[in-house]
Chain A
């Protein structure tokens, strides 16, 4: 069965510093991978997704992620964060295109001035 592990529940970082949010998945088949962002008391918004092709995926708000099949990882990165990036970030996996997503437990990114 598929599962997602987000190793860090909270990541504090200063403004303009780089950040990496880690995500590892477990699946016996090919997967589709997603990162979503959730601002306080709101629904989730898609940041980026990996479906096929280039393993380096660029998303909105300057975020990018790299799919590493050998390490079963899909870490999210941003070279310079802003205060407005403070939010909860969720990694998700799906084994079937357009099917249900299984989410990780989330990582709270806190950006300090």
Chain B
């Protein structure tokens, strides 16, 4: 079965420090990968999505970047954190293509709570 792991679960960082959140998927190959951010009272905002290694699409201009160095690894980074980067970050994956077991569903990790002080 497929699983998705996301870490760290919680993180407290000072303003101006770097960030690295990691997400890996197991049990599937060539998934679509996503990073969402959930800020208080603002729902889920899609930050990045990737359809393959090295292929990253950014949905909103921001202080963050994403990379996909391997097929099932997705990393969210920042060189200098801002207070506004605080939030709950969720990694997700979906099956690519129209055939096979694709149900159109996104599968989410447990999330990483980032507090910037």
**Chain A interface (Cβ < 8 Å from any Cβ of B):** 6, 9, 32, 34, 36, 41-46, 49, 51, 90, 92, 94, 97-106
Please give, as numbers and ranges, the residues of chain B lying within 8 Å of A6 by CB-CB distance: 43
* A51–B90 CA distance with the chains assembled, in angstroms: 24
* A26–B111 CA distance with the chains assembled, in angstroms: 28
CB distance from A32 to the nearest CB of B (A): 5
Please give, as numbers and ranges, the residues of chain A lying within 8 Å of B98 by CB-CB distance: 97-98
Please give, as numbers and ranges, the residues of chain A lying within 8 Å of B74 by CB-CB distance: none
Which of B80-95 touch A at CB < 8 Å? Answer: 88, 90, 92, 94-95
* A105–B94 CA distance with the chains assembled, in angstroms: 21
Interface size bucket, B side? Answer: 20 to 34
Please give, as numbers and ranges, the residues of chain B lying within 8 Å of A106 by CB-CB distance: 43-44
Indicate which residue in B32, B36, B41, B42 contacts A98 across the interface (CB closer than 8 Å): B32
Please give, as numbers and ranges, the residues of chain A lying within 8 Å of B102 by CB-CB distance: 97-98
* A50–B1 CA distance with the chains assembled, in angstroms: 24
CB distance from B38 to the nearest CB of A (A): 8
CB distance from A50 to the nearest CB of B (A): 10
In the complex, B96 has a CB within 8 A of chain A: yes
CB distance from A29 to the nearest CB of B (A): 15
